[in-house]
Amino acid sequence: MYYPFETQVAPLINVRRERMLPSPGEVTVRIGERVDPMQVVAQANLPGDFRVLSVAHLLGISDAKIKNYMRVKVGESVRRGQILAKRRSRVVKSPIAGVLASSGGGRVLVEAPPTPFELRAYIQGSVTNVLQGRGVVIETTGAVIQGVWGAGGESFGVLKKLVKSPDKPLRARDIDPSCHGTIVIGGSGFNAAVLERAQELQVRGIVTGSLPPELIPEVRRSPIPIIITEGIGAFPMSEPFFQLLATNDGREASISGKIKSRWGVVRPEIIIVLPAESLPSTQAQPGMPLTVGARVRAVRAPYLGQVGTVVTLVDHPRHIETDAKVRGAEVDIGQREPVFIPLMNLEALR
Amino acid sequence: MAQDSSIDSILLADCGTVMTKVVLLDRVGGQYRFVARGEALTTAEYPWSDVTAGVRHAVEQITNVTGREFFSSTGDLLAANMQGADVFAATTSASPPLEVVLGGLVRDLSVASAERAAAGTYSQVKAIIASDGRGGLTEEERVNTIHKAAPDVICIAGGLENGATRPVLEIVETAALACSLMEESKRPRILYAGNSQLRQKVVDIVKGQAELRVADNVRPTLAEENLFNVQEELDEFYRQNKMTQLPGLDALEAWSPTALTPTARAFSRIVQYLWHLGDPSSGVLGVDVGAANTTIAAAFDGHPFLTVHGDLGVTFGGERLLQEQGFETLARWIPEPLTEDEMHGLLINKELHPVSIPQEPGGVWLEQALAREAIRGALEVARPGWRPGAAQPYPHLMPLCDTIIVSGGALVNTPRPGQIALTVLDALQPIGVSTLVLDKYGLASALGSVAAVKPLAAVEALDSGGFVNLATVVSPVGRARPGDTILRVKITYDDGSGFSVEVQYGNIEVLPLLPGQQAVLELRPTGRHRFDVGLGGPGKGGKRRVNGGIAGLIIDARGRPLRLASDPEERQVQTRQWLWDVGG
């Protein structure tokens, strides 16, 4: 049996997201409370900037003597530019506003006031758990589409499909003022002009099948959340991803471009909250072995991005073009005959 | 679990970053033998979030082959009298690495030693703070560097014994200050491994700001390096604080009578074992190229040397390598045209789908190029720390290594044996006569872990089919013009047949010698060039009994160090020719 990696492209499932503060703070919502994506659910004070000032060196004295020349005591507030120490014509001023936090070894430490941090709900739903001082759990129902690569943070907006088919690239001229505040959906990819135009019009997110590698540095610098569903290069968006996004064209969605590839994997995603009286009973359990009939996607060339159904799990390893001998499956990807794809190059779609 | 005398069956698991491998050893005819293996995805992440799931998935494959059940219906590991296994042992490299900031006085001395010490375990050096002016950071910038890096450990070296004091204490003060600015629960540990006379002062400075550990000075004199103690400290810290972050680790440990071992440490143990079995005048080397880490384990004069090149394997780290070292670093090993964009795309897509394998040649060449660079990078860190003694006839080249173990999915799953051999030869550039041994089933680290429970099993299983001879390699050292005859080789098989060949400089010759076959090899360097074939010095020849391998007997007459053509097209012709020569 082979237990494959999985990607979600689910029209309606239970969605549960843990929202955690980066450092301890205060949760501002209660269990059972309904929240909106932009609502603050917790807040914390993050440590501020700091400056280390070598007072002894700047005043030309030994470390032990600096207390004789200090004008401010440890624990006292200081203004930017305020004199901290003075010896004849030599003065040491605070480069930032804050507190004189400590003194020792001939130097002092000035800490700026903490920076307030607000944690937003990100998705519309109900608070089902409060992790005191750390964060909350929010649950809802809706469609979930996971990307393979992403950049940028989180946002919220209306989905706007700008291409007719999944193999069409997003073009700069497609992005007009009506895209302001929306999450735009393309097919295969986009270029630098699209990114520039999207930033000008304050687009809230971009979703396409692929991204040319040369655009990665610019995309990483962009504040817009960007989600790539297939990979880096030039590939069309897989049909089920495109169809699910197209079905929800015009609906509000949450988007996250955050990605972490190891040790607590985080995948970029789009969540479209949908009302559900009852969820479909056919929901596949995660983490199950690959079986005949499973819907899979190929993740390596020459079939990268092709979605199909497992027809046969081949018993014995076979040689592939590289001469490697590997276990695989016959997959119906809509060609005349099913194609042999190594198991390691398949992921299950749920 | 069973007493030592009654251990018949042993189940060994290695939870790697991407794949989990399990092997079953059993006593057959009074000797431990490799029986079956299974391999599955490592399941540390969602939806499993439990590494034992991956072990079970791999064990299912063993059950399919042997018909033997290993788990009860409640999920407990069965003792052998109820099918199962007498002993279970596991290794792992799947945990996050120890994040380290290194501090020291001189970049090429104490800091380099501290770097090698950190490389003795799965670690990632987040920043280096040296006092020798390079980088020229102010104290505030240093504090900021530590603060941003938010490491697990700040390892401070520096100051020879009876040497410098003030600059060392300044680094300690900076580290303590940076710690004081962090949330108490997130403060790193400070590990002091510098001038031992300063220990009390270091204690006074750090007191109340961070947890302090003290180790022996890593660089007590200019000529001496002492990594053992600080490596032990870092390794222990890794085991306690990082390995334990692996979800499901508790259950895995509950199955085993011994503590879980880091894969690299277990791999090093088996390399040391092999040294004891071989020619003591030369070394034994082990290369394990994984998805995220590359390990070089060496043994010289009975001493082990372990280097883990964290964050560079054939899956993770390729994009960073491309950004930091440029396209040519990888492109030079690729035998066909590949644009930088294509390379970039392939490297990122591999990271996005870490378990995937190339289905087209371009992807294979790129992964092999990455393996070469990962090994070279690890060697660069490792070699200055080795003490090979008589095994090092040429200081600028590799020491003589009798046996080289080749391990790790990235190498072992290479489509053709010749490609594996060429990757290893290009990356290591061994000299003299070496046997390349392929760890076909990923047994090496598992055997290292079983050595702690049942040493006999480790020794016996080495010969039981899990390890396969890849090739015997002769790598002459010397200088000549390409095409000059430098060596006459006569091979005499056990049935008395044989033949002779003349080897030209710049070429690779592969002579047929199958696994399990032995032959007497007679090497005669030609008079004028006086190449050294590892049989007593330049120009000296002799006879040696050698073993066959799946890639044959390879005479690598390309010279040391290896020279690649500077013109990209010429280089592609060159690398294609070498691949052709080895049957790749």
List, as one string, the DSSP characters of B368-399. Answer: HHHHHHHHHHHHHHHGGG---GGG-SSTTSPP
Q: Do A262 and B17 touch (CB under 8 A)?
A: yes
Average confidence (pLDDT) over B270-278: 89
Query: In the predicted model, is pLDDT for residue A154 greater than 80?
Result: yes
Specify the residue for token string 């004069």.
Answer: B301
Q: How remote is the C-alpha of A332 from its chain's centroid? A: 32
Domain co-membership, A299 together with A252 = no
pLDDT at B181: 84
Domain co-membership, A197 together with A262 = yes
The pair of structure tokens assigned to A206 is 């971009």
Domain co-membership, B32 together with B76 = yes
Query: In the predicted model, is pLDDT for residue B415 greater than 90?
Result: no
Q: What residues of B are in contact with residue A109 (Cβ under 8 Å)? A: 177, 181
Query: In the predicted model, is pLDDT for residue B292 greater than 50?
Result: yes
Q: What residues of B are in contact with residue A52 (Cβ under 8 Å)? A: 138-140, 143, 177
Q: For an interface test with A, which of B152, B350, B359 has the most A Cβ atoms less than 10 Å from its Cβ?
A: B359
**In this structure, how many other beta carbons lie within 10 angstroms of the beta carbon of residue A338?**
17
Nearest chain A residue to B361 by CA: give it: A322
Domain co-membership, B501 together with B453 = yes
Query: In the predicted model, is pLDDT for residue A248 greater than 80?
Result: yes
Distance CA B419, CA B416 (A): 5
Q: Give the domain-ending residue among B213, B243, B273.
A: B243
Size of interface A-B (CB pairs under 8 A): 132
Nearest chain B residue to A347 by CA: give it: B353
Nearest chain B residue to A5 by CA: give it: B41
Domain co-membership, A222 together with A87 = no
Q: How confident is the model at residue B256 (pLDDT cuts 50, 70, 90)?
A: confident
Q: Give the domain-ending residue among A220, A239, A273.
A: A273
Q: How confident is the model at residue B424 (pLDDT cuts 50, 70, 90)?
A: very high
Identify whether A67 is part of a domain: yes
pLDDT at A64: 85
User: Per-residue pLDDT tens for B499-540?
Assistant: 999 999 999 999 999 999 999 999 999 978 899 999 999 999
Domain co-membership, A11 together with A79 = no
Identify whether A39 is part of a domain: no
Q: How confident is the model at residue B322 (pLDDT cuts 50, 70, 90)?
A: very high
Q: Is the CB of residue B37 less than 8 Å away from at least one CB of chain A? A: no
Q: Is the CB of residue B242 less than 8 Å away from at least one CB of chain A? A: no
Domain co-membership, B103 together with B69 = no
Identify whether B207 is part of a domain: yes
Identify whether A207 is part of a domain: yes
Identify whether A26 is part of a domain: no
Domain co-membership, B89 together with B102 = no
Domain co-membership, A268 together with A299 = no
User: Per-residue pLDDT tens for A19-72?
Assistant: 999 989 999 999 999 999 999 999 999 888 899 998 998 999 998 899 899 999
Q: Do A3 and B57 touch (CB under 8 A)?
A: yes
CATH number, position A181: 3.50.30.10
Domain co-membership, A299 together with A268 = no
Interface of B with A in 177-206 (CB under 8 A): 177, 180-183
Q: How remote is the C-alpha of B150 from its chain's centroid? A: 27
Domain co-membership, A170 together with A263 = yes
Q: Is the CB of residue B143 less than 8 Å away from at least one CB of chain A? A: yes
Q: Is the CB of residue A172 less than 8 Å away from at least one CB of chain B? A: no
Query: In the predicted model, is pLDDT for residue A160 greater than 60?
Result: yes
Q: What residues of A are in contact with residue B152 (Cβ under 8 Å)? A: none
Average confidence (pLDDT) over B210-234: 94
CB B582 within 8 A of CB B422: yes
User: Per-residue pLDDT tens for A259-302?
Assistant: 999 899 999 999 999 988 767 665 568 899 999 999 999 999 99
Q: Do B360 and A302 touch (CB under 8 A)?
A: yes
Q: What residues of B are in contact with residue A2 (Cβ under 8 Å)? A: 40
Q: Do A47 and B181 touch (CB under 8 A)?
A: yes
Q: DSSP assignment of B416-484, as one string?
A: SHHHHHHHHHHHH---EEEEEEEETTS-HHHHHHHTTT-HHHHHHHIIIIIEEEEEEEEE-B----TT-
User: Per-residue pLDDT tens for B333-356?
Assistant: 999 999 999 999 999 999 999 999
Q: What residues of B are in contact with residue A263 (Cβ under 8 Å)? A: 44, 95-96, 245
Q: Do B349 and A233 touch (CB under 8 A)?
A: yes
Identify whether B345 is part of a domain: yes
Average pLDDT over chain B, rounded to an integer: 92
Identify whether B168 is part of a domain: yes
User: Per-residue pLDDT tens for B12-42?
Assistant: 999 999 999 999 988 888 888 889 999 999 9
Average confidence (pLDDT) over B420-431: 98
Q: What residues of B are in contact with residue A323 (Cβ under 8 Å)? A: 415-416
Q: Give the domain-ending residue among B67, B94, B121.
A: B94
Domain co-membership, B57 together with B202 = no
CA B583 to chain A, closest CA, distance in angstroms equals: 12
Helix (H, G, I), strand (E, B) or coil at A138: strand
Q: Do B416 and A111 touch (CB under 8 A)?
A: no
The dihedral through the CA atoms of A21, A23, A27, A32 has a sign that is positive
User: Per-residue pLDDT tens for B356-397?
Assistant: 999 999 999 999 999 999 999 999 999 999 999 999 999 999
Q: Is the CB of residue B46 less than 8 Å away from at least one CB of chain A? A: yes
CATH number, position A330: 2.30.30
Distance CA A228, CA A219 (A): 11
Domain co-membership, A236 together with A102 = no
CB A232 within 8 A of CB A216: yes
Structural domain harbouring B132: 98-243
Structural domain harbouring A315: 295-349
Most confident of B146-150, B429-433, B440-444, B458-462: B429-433
Domain co-membership, A263 together with A154 = yes
Q: How remote is the C-alpha of A147 from its chain's centroid? A: 10
Domain co-membership, A263 together with A325 = no
CATH number, position B13: 3.10.20.370
Q: Do B183 and A23 touch (CB under 8 A)?
A: yes
Q: Do A301 and B353 touch (CB under 8 A)?
A: no
Domain co-membership, B327 together with B309 = yes
Average confidence (pLDDT) over B222-241: 93
Q: Give the domain-ending residue among B66, B94, B122.
A: B94
Distance CA B334, CA B341 (A): 15
Nearest chain B residue to A343 by CA: give it: B356
Q: Is the CB of residue B341 less than 8 Å away from at least one CB of chain A? A: yes
Identify whether B253 is part of a domain: no
Identify whether B256 is part of a domain: no
Average confidence (pLDDT) over A7-14: 95
Q: Do A300 and B341 touch (CB under 8 A)?
A: no
Nearest chain B residue to A49 by CA: give it: B144
Domain co-membership, B42 together with B168 = no
Q: How many domains in chain B?
A: 3
Identify whether A22 is part of a domain: no
Q: How many domains in chain A?
A: 3
Q: What residues of B are in contact with residue A339 (Cβ under 8 Å)? A: none
Q: Which of B48, B96, B358 sits opposite A300 (nearest CB)?
A: B358
Domain co-membership, A149 together with A247 = yes
User: Per-residue pLDDT tens for B134-152?
Assistant: 556 888 889 989 989 999 9
Domain co-membership, B283 together with B210 = no
Annotate B268-283 with b (16+ C-beta within 10 A) or e (fewer).
bbbbbbbbeebeeebb
The three-point CA angle A278-A282-A287 to 5° equals 115
Task: Specify the DSSP class assigned to residue B82.
Answer: G
Q: What residues of B are in contact with residue A213 (Cβ under 8 Å)? A: 341, 344-345, 348
Identify whether B259 is part of a domain: no
Q: Which of A148, A287, A344 sits opposite B355 (nearest CB)?
A: A344
**In this structure, how many other beta carbons lie within 10 angstroms of the beta carbon of residue B180?**
18
Q: Do B40 and A4 touch (CB under 8 A)?
A: no
Query: In the predicted model, is pLDDT for residue B413 greater than 90?
Result: no
CB B523 within 8 A of CB B474: yes
Q: Is the CB of residue A300 less than 8 Å away from at least one CB of chain B? A: yes
Q: For an interface test with A, which of B62, B92, B343, B356 has the most A Cβ atoms less than 10 Å from its Cβ?
A: B356
Query: In the predicted model, is pLDDT for residue A142 greater than 60?
Result: yes
Q: Do A261 and B354 touch (CB under 8 A)?
A: yes
CB B446 within 8 A of CB B453: no
Q: Which of B40, B140, B414 sits opposite A52 (nearest CB)?
A: B140
Q: For an interface test with B, which of A51, A52, A259 has the most B Cβ atoms less than 10 Å from its Cβ?
A: A52
Domain co-membership, A264 together with A300 = no
Q: How far is CA B430 from CA A283, B278, B285, B314, B435, in A?
A: 56, 17, 10, 22, 10
Q: Give the domain-ending residue among A218, A241, A273.
A: A273
Q: Do B359 and A300 touch (CB under 8 A)?
A: yes
Q: Is the CB of residue A301 less than 8 Å away from at least one CB of chain B? A: yes
Q: Is the CB of residue B63 less than 8 Å away from at least one CB of chain A? A: no
Q: Which of B139, B348, B356 sits opposite A345 (nearest CB)?
A: B356
Domain co-membership, B372 together with B315 = yes
Q: What residues of A are in contact with residue B183 (Cβ under 8 Å)? A: 23, 47
Domain co-membership, B78 together with B145 = no
Identify whether A130 is part of a domain: no
CATH number, position A61: 2.40.50
Query: In the predicted model, is pLDDT for residue B214 greater than 90?
Result: yes
Identify whether B167 is part of a domain: yes
CATH number, position B195: 3.40.50.10700
Identify whether B254 is part of a domain: no
Domain co-membership, B416 together with B548 = yes
Query: In the predicted model, is pLDDT for residue B1 greater than 70?
Result: no
Domain co-membership, B73 together with B200 = no
**In this structure, how many other beta carbons lie within 10 angstroms of the beta carbon of residue B228?**
15
- Tell me how far apart the terminal alpha carbons of chain A are, to the nearest angstrom: 18
pLDDT at B5: 57
